[in-house]
Chains A and B, each alone.
Chain A
Amino acid sequence: MEVVDSVMALLFVADEPVPTELLARTLNIGDGQVDQAIEILQARLAEGGPLQVVQLAGGWQLCTRPEFAEPVAAFLKPQRQRLGRSLMEVLAIVAYRQPITMAEVDAARGVQSDYSLRQLLERRLLQEVGRRSTPGRPVLYGTTQQFLHQFNINDIADLPKLSAELTDLVGVEALAAGAPVAEGEEDVEVEDSGAKPTEPDESETEPTSPEAERTPVVAE
């Protein structure tokens, strides 16, 4: 049985991104062989057909090509709307500065963000990742595999780069190296959430309740 076909079969039945290591372990082959098989599979699928193999959220997954989005959407009828401005702002701040507390998100935006944060938690785009060892032990938030999946990102280090000046400020380089970036990062207690990649929720909608985020945060 050809390795490429086996990899395709596994990706076909998987309902979430499959990491290279898992494919290799399942097929009892090396990671390099899996990478090779994926390359061949991608080339084979590129020759024709409605499917493609994409790398996102730390694994490989079969999906339909964008050219077929219209008929598939007509069939599945997904409820899809864009995230609102406030949700995107909170999401971006958490993504770049995770692990981060709610107070830090508030300070970065200048308005209270608890409503947006709650919305993003409910949508499984953010999650609690631990508590900071400071007075009050505030909860720290980070992004989820769902966030990576929904925004077509393979790894958190692949986030769009901020400008060079800002890169220094938020430590994207540290992000790329896999290190958490936050003030007092050495004091962070991070829990292993065990989050698994999940199918993105296509029913994202704008918050319907009034946005209660107009209270400016004023410095002392």
Chain B
Amino acid sequence: MAARTEAQDTGLTVVAGLGLVAPPPIHIQAPTFEGSLATLLKCVRDNKVQLLDVPLLPVCEAYFDYLVQTNLADLDEAAAALLALAFLLERKAWALLPNEQPEPEPEAPLELPEPTIHEYAPAIECLRTWHDERAKRFFRSPDASPEPYELPFTLAKVKVEDLAMALERVLRRAVPATVEQLNKPRRSLSEQMRIVLVALGKEFKPLEDAIPSPYTREDAVYWFLALLELIRLAQVNIRVTETEVAFARAH
């Protein structure tokens, strides 16, 4: 049933509005109206249909048919239908009763989603058909083009352990991160690669010397990831000595 509040000054019951759950596609066939329950609600709301002329018995029968057919598979929908039905019954009762009091107006307008989700059903079915038709066609895959991650590069005598050592040294100097700000913008690795290239220069130097201090562990990881990508693209050379791992721009 529609939510109600007691108006303190008048004591009148005020219909506070219906829920937003659209009633299921219950088809109503009456002498003066034929269509879905949602459409009837909208028409009543917009005063396009005179509810006094619409017998509610077929509406109730359609609701019971719906309950029997669906076997209460979706309680939300069944509740939404009951809510809509109760609204119509109440409106009609107010219209029929010889009551001096004016019919209470809904506090909030009867807001049903327009169109209701059920009214998208034919379009969804059509989209599914198109999707299935499309699935029977095959196109050239973009994967057929050269795979950028297979660009040739060589690490020569550099081992993975050497790179791990470089990362470990950088992390050792990292300072604790400050409080993480909300809605922090995403960092771009390509932008980071540009920064790393500029910082490295032609002379070989350890990574920890290239990163402006102080830096956090997150900064260090970004620098290292960008460095790996540059190594893969042959943009950075590596020199390994007994004591350190140094990097320099290749060109």
Contacts and interface: CB of A to CB of B under 8 A. Distances in A.
Interface string A147-176: 001111100000111110110011000000
Contact of A66 (B16, B20, B136): B136
Given A216-B21, A220-B108, A82 B138 contact: no
A82 B132 CA distance: 8
Interface stretch (B56-64, B110-118, B202-210, B223-231): B110-118
Interface in A63-95: 63-66, 69, 72-73, 76, 80, 82-83, 88-89, 91-93, 95
Interface residues of A, number: 57
Contact of B117 (A95, A109, A216): A109
B135 interface: yes
B226 to A, nearest CB: 23
Contacts of B131: 82-83, 150-152
Nearest to A11: B140
Contacts of B80: 110
Interface string B26-63: 00000000000001000000000000000000000000
A40 interface: no
B138 A93 contact: no
B142 to A, nearest CB: 4
A87 to B, nearest CB: 10
A129 interface: no
Nearest to A152: B134
Residue among A69, A198, A219 having the largest count of chain B Cβ atoms under 10 Å: A219
A216 B19 CA distance: 9
Contacts of A95: 127
Contacts of A108: 113, 115-117
Given A61-B139, A152-B133, A216-B76, A163 B119 contact: yes
Given A199-B139, A220-B108, 13 more contacts: A65-B137, A69-B138, A73-B138, A91-B127, A92-B120, A109-B117, A152-B130, A152-B137, A160-B130, A163-B119, A165-B39, A214-B76, A219-B20
A54 B140 CA distance: 13
B145 interface: yes
B144 interface: yes
A62 interface: yes
A10 to B, nearest CB: 12
A14 interface: yes
5 contacts: A13-B140, A88-B128, A92-B127, A165-B39, A199-B140
B22 interface: yes
Interface string A176-220: 000000000000000000000011101000000000001011111
Interface of A: 12-16, 52, 54, 56, 61-66, 69, 72-73, 76, 80, 82-83, 88-89, 91-93, 95-96, 107-111, 149-153, 159-163, 165-166, 169-170, 198-200, 202, 214, 216-220
Residue among A65, A72, A108 having the largest count of chain B Cβ atoms under 10 Å: A108
Interface residues of B, number: 42
A76 B131 CA distance: 18
Contact of B16 (A82, A166, A217, A220): A220
Contacts of B122: 160, 162-163
B138 A217 contact: no
Contacts of A72: 138
Nearest to B134: A152
Contact of A96 (B120, B138, B145): B120
Contact of B21 (A66, A80, A110, A151): A110
B124 interface: yes
B123 interface: yes
Given A218-B20, A220-B17, A93 B108 contact: no
B156 to A, nearest CB: 35
B141 A15 contact: yes
Interface string B6-24: 0000000000111111100
Given A151-B131, A152-B133, A166-B119, A89 B124 contact: yes
B93 interface: no
Contacts of A111: 21, 76
Contacts of A152: 130-131, 133-134, 137
B95 interface: no
Q: Which 10 pairs between the two chains have the least Cβ-Cβ distance? A: A110-B21, A160-B126, A152-B134, A66-B136, A69-B136, A15-B142, A63-B137, A108-B113, A152-B130, A166-B115
